[in-house]
């Protein structure tokens, strides 16, 4: 699966908004809250701390929802719904 690292203002702003048939993992650093405004399909969201320890998993999040800020979260991963069988440490680009 393709990995997109959203490390600048524009890529963070656009994210997966308006996209159909999401087939990639979007990694957003320094992100502890998510909205799915303007999304066209459901997504799975995983939030980890800076050491890549999974703290929250949100499955099948529908468009136009908000996940409020969470404490001690550094990375947020957005991916197609029902994505399974991957290791967070393996998909980090650094």
How confident is the model over 47-62, as pLDDT tens digits?
Answer: 999 999 999 999 999 9
* 41/77 Cα distance (integer angstroms): 16
pLDDT band at 94 (very low <50, low <70, confident <90, very high): very low
CB count, 10 Å around CB of 60? 11
Burial of 76 by CB count in 10 Å (0-12 exposed, 13-18 middle, 19+ buried)? Answer: buried
pLDDT above 70 for 89: no
The length of the chain is 94
Q: What is the pLDDT of residue 86?
A: 61
Domains in the chain, please, with CATH?
2-89 (2.60.120.1140)
């Amino acid at each position: 699966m393709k990995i997109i690292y959203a490390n600048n203002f524009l890529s963070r702003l656009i994210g997966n908004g308006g996209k159909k048939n999401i087939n990639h993992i979007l990694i957003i650093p320094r992100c502890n809250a998510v909205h799915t405004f303007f999304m066209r399909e459901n997504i799975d969201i995983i939030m980890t701390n800076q050491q890549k320890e999974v703290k929250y998993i949100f499955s099948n999040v529908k468009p136009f929802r908000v996940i409020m800020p969470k404490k001690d979260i550094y990375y947020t991963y957005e991916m197609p719904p029902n994505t399974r069988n991957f290791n967070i440490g393996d998909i980090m680009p650094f």
